[in-house]
Amino acid sequence: MSSQLARVLVTGASGFVGSELVRRLAQDGQRSIRAAIRRRRPAFPHGIEVCHDLDLSAQTDWQYALSGVECVVHAAARVHVMRETAIDAIAEFRKVNVDGTLALARQAAEAGVNRFVFISSIKVNGESSSRGRPYRADDVPAPADAYGISKLEAENALKQICRACDMEYVIIRAPLVYGPGVKGNFRSMMKWLIRGVPLPLGDVDNRRSLVALDTLAGLTIRCMTHPAARNQTFLVADGEDLSTTQLLRRMGVALGKPVRLFHAPVWILKLTGKLVFRKDMIARLCDSLQVDISKTRELLGWFPEVTVDQGLKKTAEDFLRETRN
């Protein structure tokens, strides 16, 4: 870290991103770290102060957790799921991602927190980008689902709070994050490859931006103290965009498994997705979503910490260890 902070609070500290942030902060020498969790307690590094039973809701009292804190890194959220089961999805996302974030930010401002770093999502920008026209940090947002809408509303609420006080904000919008412990569709993809499942994805010529967990954590830590990050929105990615076909083949190399792909027209894949109620999943496999990280590079003097292949190798090694055990 460029400088020591008096105390850092990480929310969602038992989650995929939050737990890595806590580990990296401890590794980088941050002496006073407070980890806010709901229930499950992971194996935090020695010396981490844990605050239990902190739901992200409008009613949560953050007074103790925020005491003496100079910077909040807000990684807790109701995350996007492929098959939403809530009857009123947007209301459920707003309860957590908007109302909960608003309550935390207000209390952080009252507690004298200097900077609030918010881990948001590229879904604020939209679901897909035109080939060769990546999303930029300052584009007009166009979220298309309940999760993306709730993240945009949380961003706007945070900005409004900060404008009325001395607290600074930094917003980081991330695309799909992968790394050791990844779940969801990325983990499913590795299972398909390990089992040698033939996949009709040998002719998908899209471009997708991803971000390794190491790279996201490193940027987040830089944004905690960098003067130029004040009141800015940044996009983050690996810096190399892949087609779905390329990703599968390079993941196969990382796993040490042959990749069995066959060719199928994209229009057939999308039609099949509609028929089996997997339209969104097929869209993510076939559409492009590219991210322009030039602002992040130039303003912060930042660059991705690992290459795509290094990130995939680390992810694969962790997955293989877990499957063996």
Could you tell me if 266 and 204 are in contact, meaning their C-beta atoms sit under 8 angstroms apart? yes
How many whole angstroms separate alpha carbon 293 and alpha carbon 124?
A: 15
Residues annotated as catalytic (active site), given as ranges: 147
Q: What is the pLDDT of residue 1?
A: 45
**Two structure tokens written together for 130:** 């035109």
Residue 141 is given by DSSP the state: P
Q: What is the pLDDT of residue 144?
A: 93
Domains in the chain: ranges and CATH? 8-182+209-240+290-306 (3.40.50.720)
How many whole angstroms separate alpha carbon 94 and alpha carbon 77?
A: 10
Ordered per-residue pLDDT tens for the chain, 325 residues: 446 688 999 999 999 999 999 999 999 888 899 999 987 666 788 889 999 889 999 999 999 999 999 999 999 999 866 555 666 889 999 999 999 999 999 999 999 999 999 999 999 999 999 888 999 999 999 999 999 999 999 999 999 999 999 999 999 999 999 999 999 999 999 999 999 999 999 989 999 999 999 999 999 999 999 999 999 999 999 999 999 999 999 999 999 999 999 999 988 888 888 887 788 888 889 999 999 999 999 999 999 999 999 999 999 999 999 988 7
Q: What is the pLDDT of residue 306?
A: 96
**Two structure tokens written together for 161:** 């709070």
How many whole angstroms separate alpha carbon 280 and alpha carbon 269?
A: 12
Closest to 173 measured CA to CA, from 118, 221, 131, 222: 118
- Per DSSP, helices labelled H in 134-293 are 146-163, 184-195, 213-225, 244-255, 266-275, 279-286
Q: What is the pLDDT of residue 281?
A: 85
pLDDT, tens digit, for every residue of 216-231?
A: 999 999 999 999 999 9
Q: What is the pLDDT of residue 81?
A: 62
Q: What is the pLDDT of residue 171?
A: 98
